[in-house]
Amino acid sequence: MVIDDNSQEDVDLENSIFKEIQNDIETVKRHITIITTLLREQPAGIIRISQVTKMPEHKIRYSLRILEREGLIEPSREGAILTPKFVDNKQKIAEQAKKLAKEMEEIYENLRVSLGEASSQKK
């Protein structure tokens, strides 16, 4: 089996070793979408963020809870706002994302090579 970058066949993530990380990636993408929305439109409440992002309110509520727990947003009378901690750490957050992307690329390359070698050894 060789991993083809251009393969049109979707991997079944429901039965994949990557299912958990895929779910986490979706959650992080949602958090980032909410942060991006707040950068443009703060303060913003759950309903407004849901309207702008087209995401369900229950998912917005969950993400806001996580972002508040991490100290990146705080509630106000008008809705959620970004905290000074977020503003001060924007660069560090971007660097963390870059590091994770690099790690995922390394995982992909190692898997591609390993599976390519396993495929050629069977011949």
Q: 57-94 burial by CB neighbour count: b if 16+ within 10 A, else e?
A: eebbeebbeebeeeebbeeeeebbebbeebeeeeeeee
Tokens describing residue 106: 């390394």
Tokens describing residue 27: 């959650």
User: Is the pLDDT reported for residue 80 higher than 80?
Assistant: yes
Q: Domain containing 39 — which CATH number?
A: 1.10.10.10
Question: Does 59 share its domain with 102?
Answer: no
Tokens describing residue 22: 């895929």
Question: Does 24 share its domain with 70?
Answer: yes
Question: Does 34 share its domain with 72?
Answer: yes
Identify whether 44 is part of a domain: yes
pTM here is 0.74
Question: Does 38 share its domain with 79?
Answer: yes
Domain count, the chain: 2
Identify whether 7 is part of a domain: no
Confidence class of residue 119 from pLDDT cuts 50, 70 and 90?
low
d(CA 55, CA 46): 10
Residues 48, 50, 51, 53: is their CA dihedral positive or negative?
positive
| pLDDT at res. 14 | 62
Question: Does 79 share its domain with 37?
Answer: yes
Identify whether 74 is part of a domain: yes
Whole-angstrom CA distances from 115 to 39, 56, 63, 73 are 42, 39, 36, 43
Domain with 100, as residue range(s), is 89-123
pLDDT for 29-76, tens place per residue?
999 999 999 999 999 999 999 999 999 999 999 999 999 999 999 999
Tokens describing residue 121: 């050894």
